[in-house]
Amino acid sequence: MFSTKNLIPAMAAPTDGFRPADLLARAFSNPHLTAGLAGGLLLITLLTVIALLGDPRASTPVVRLSLAKVQGVAAPPGWREALTAAPREPVVVEDIFRLSETPLEPGGAFGGQATITMAGGRAFHAADPLAQAPLAGFHVQGSGGLLPIIAANGKTPAEAYARPFVPNGRPKVGMVVGGLGLNAQATRQAIDGLPPEITLSFVPYAEGLQGWIDLARAAGHEVLLETPMEPVDYPDNDPGPYTLMATAQGTETVKKLEWVLSRATGYFGVTNYLGSRFLGSDTGMNAFTGALRGRGLAFIDDGQAARRGGGIPRASAVRIIDEQLSGEAIDQQLLQVEAFALQNGQALGSGFAYPVTLSQVASWAESVESRGYQLAPASALTSRR
């Protein structure tokens, strides 16, 4: 049984000569009394602090903001994990940003939109193949093969067979590489080695022409068909038996053109092969553009017919990039195409399927968008005139 006599035995019977200091010394020498006094002192201290500062167990007022969305901008992935990540030494990172003088339109990006909504709601992606030709409703059987026509709803082959494209607000640059279909190695290199935004032009005399066009469209390239035209040094320079002649009657011009057009399907327009004399003939060009207009086709030229219209979708190259067959010369011409686009909003170049041309165009196409341009198919650079 607990007894106060055990707690403070010296206080039970004071003797003569009692001193208070002796009593205190004996009291503090008792460990039980010392612990009790220390506990009481601690309790008094805590009560004093609570009275002055408030209860430390109470919650501190907190203002909570949503980090998931601030001013309509989504928080970057991983932000929650970053809040609880282990502390680490700060890291200094040097970053370099390239700013364009031409701002992007809303939703714009290098190379245009990655996804384009087609008619009927189908999504077209940048790496998708183009639909295999012929498309229903855009052809009629001619004497030598299928001939393009405008569909019943008014849509033209120029629209149906062009590569889908959405501008992003940057200067547009395009390239047509021609002379394809005669050399299998060069043709395959162009189809497989050039980005799908590069337009490919095929020779009508090529064997297996439809097969080559099908391969090109399967790789995403839009296609032109080359039309041989009379040059100033004809017949020393003879483009073949179906050459359009400057002094020919209109019916003869249309007949030869229809032979060219019946060689294959899947092209959105035609381009000239040679033609320095024919392109200067009003009679020849009126018959030529009139036939294209009736069939809903575009005409892309290498720059020799830049002043010609015809009421059809038109585009002209500002440079033939490989008149000098060296990598350095071709690169200089490609820079001229870029400069023209910067000044005028768009520019088209033209080249032949020489090995050096294919190599330089492939390298150029890989880097041109990093310099603030948008690589575009030739059809995207056309305007009706």
- Summarised one tens digit per residue, pLDDT across range 53-78 is 555 454 444 434 344 443 443 444 44
CA 340 → CA 177, 271, 373, distances in Å?
A: 19, 21, 12
Of 78-82, 215-219, 249-253, 261-265, least confident by mean pLDDT is 78-82
pLDDT per position as a tens digit, 102-125: 333 333 332 334 456 555 555 667
pLDDT per position as a tens digit, 146-200: 999 999 999 999 999 999 999 999 999 999 999 999 999 999 999 999 999 999 9
Quick check: helix, strand or coil at residue 374? Answer: strand
DSSP letter, residue 128: P
Quick check: helix, strand or coil at residue 352? Answer: strand
**Peptide bond before residue 231 is cis, with ω within 30 degrees of 0:** no
Quick check: helix, strand or coil at residue 277? Answer: coil
Note the pTM of the prediction, 2 decimals: 0.70
Contact 279, 347 (CB under 8 A): no
The pLDDT confidence band at residue 99, using thresholds 50, 70 and 90, is very low
The residues, ordered by sequence, that sit 6+ positions from 262 with a Cβ below 8 Å of its Cβ are 142, 143, 144, 145, 146, 147
Identify the sign of the CA torsion 346, 351, 356, 359: positive
CA distance from start to end of the chain: 118
| Residue 80 to residue 159: CA distance in whole angstroms | 48
| Residue 369 to residue 385: CA distance in whole angstroms | 29
| Residue 171 to residue 138: CA distance in whole angstroms | 32
- Containing H/E element for 250? helix 250-261
pLDDT per position as a tens digit, 315-358: 999 999 999 999 999 999 999 999 999 999 999 999 999 999 99
Say what the pLDDT of residue 36 is: 60
